[in-house]
């Protein structure tokens, strides 16, 4: 069984002082009631270094919300994988729907970002997911498969177990409307089948598939019971220590 992974994506919320406070609250509450999941916090860039420092004696790890494909150079406003490695990041979220749809990152751009993250010893959290119009046109599985193909097929098969995949339907992000258990089950099973057919059963089984999109303490247990849900990528609800940990504890049930 894969150990669950629960990631809090703080997006563009909070400066270093607020981020530190939230990270410390999470660590404090975890001590009194541990979670049976790997926990990762993704603060904004300006808070990363101080949150890494604050978490250095804890099991909670830190993710960046994006990185550039180049090591350095004339890319105003960007941050590279070696810079994130240097400050002690462990994960990088790539291809989040806000990057794809608000900042027009193409599949090609996202594909170029994975290898540098891996080369610098971090784990990419690759986000995939369809828009509402793609779902209405019954193109969900096609869209998700194409996004996986373009991001993963350029990588060596030997490193795929370092990649985390997050299925995040665009229409469910920040809307309060999570995908139903049937919808999540269908897409996660199809991603698992894709991984197994490409990598073989053993290797295809170890990649974690997270769900993201309006995950809340109220719906986390139902979603966590779905066989191929190996964790969550949480936005809004991760900005509150108690609700983030309540979501993480949805995985405290006996192994599936
Ligand atoms: P949400 O965001 O939980 O606020 O819907 C999820 C995400 O963007 O990763």
Helix (H) or strand (E) holding 167, with range, is strand 164-167
pLDDT at 34: 86
Distance linking the first and last C-alpha atoms of the chain: 7
Joined together, the tokens standing for residue 233 give 């990528």
Task: Pick the atom of ligand 1 nearest to 234's CA.
Answer: 3
Phi/psi at 179 (5° precision)? -65, 150
In 10 A of CB 27, how many CB atoms?
18
pTM summary value: 0.97
Residues 4 and 78: their CA atoms lie apart, in Å, by 31
Smallest CA separation from ligand 1 atom 6, residue: 235
pLDDT at 255: 55
Left, alpha or beta for 147 (phi > 0: left; psi -120 to 50: alpha)?
alpha
Smallest CA separation from ligand 1 atom 3, residue: 235
Task: Pick the atom of ligand 1 nearest to 176's CA.
Answer: 5
| Active-site pick, 96, 105, 164, 228 | 96
pLDDT < 50: residue spans in the chain: none
Mutation probe of ligand 1 site: the residue of 128, 169, 214, 217 with most atoms within 8 A of C-beta: 214
| Active-site pick, 105, 130, 164, 168 | 168
Instruction: Give every CB contact of residue 9 below 8 A, 6+ residues apart in sequence.
Output: 42, 63, 65, 93, 96, 212, 233, 234, 235, 238
- The verdict on whether 90 is a catalytic residue reads no
pLDDT at 254: 56
244 Cα: distance to centroid of ligand 1 (angstroms): 12
Residue at token pair 């995985």? 251
156 Cα: distance to centroid of ligand 1 (angstroms): 30
In 10 A of CB 76, how many CB atoms?
4
- The verdict on whether 168 is a catalytic residue reads yes
């Amino acid at each position: 069984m894969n150990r669950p992974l629960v990631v809090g994506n703080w997006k563009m919320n909070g400066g270093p002082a607020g981020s530190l406070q939230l990270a410390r609250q999470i660590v404090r509450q975890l001590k009194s009631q541990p979670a049976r999941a790997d926990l990762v916090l993704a603060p904004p860039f300006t808070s990363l270094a101080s949150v890494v420092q604050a978490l250095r004696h804890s099991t909670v790890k830190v993710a960046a919300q994006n990185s550039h494909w180049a090591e350095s150079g004339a890319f105003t406003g960007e941050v590279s994988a070696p810079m994130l490695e240097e400050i002690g990041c462990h994960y990088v979220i790539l291809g989040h729907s806000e990057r794809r749809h608000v900042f027009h990152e193409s599949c090609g751009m996202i594909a170029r970002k994975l290898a540098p993250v891996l080369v610098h010893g971090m784990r990419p959290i690759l986000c995939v997911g369809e828009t509402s119009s793609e779902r209405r046109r019954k193109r969900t599985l096609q869209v998700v498969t194409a996004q996986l193909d373009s991001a993963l097929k350029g990588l060596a098969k030997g490193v795929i177990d370092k990649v985390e995949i997050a299925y995040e339907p665009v229409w469910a992000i920040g809307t309060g409307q999570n995908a139903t258990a049937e919808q999540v089950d269908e897409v996660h099973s199809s991603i698992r089948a894709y991984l197994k057919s490409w990598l073989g059963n053993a290797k295809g089984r170890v990649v974690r598939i997270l769900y993201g999109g309006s995950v809340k303490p109220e719906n986390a247990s139902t979603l966590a019971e779905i066989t191929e849900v190996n964790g969550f990528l949480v936005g809004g609800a991760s900005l509150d220590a108690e609700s983030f940990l309540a979501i993480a504890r949805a995985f405290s049930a006996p192994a599936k």
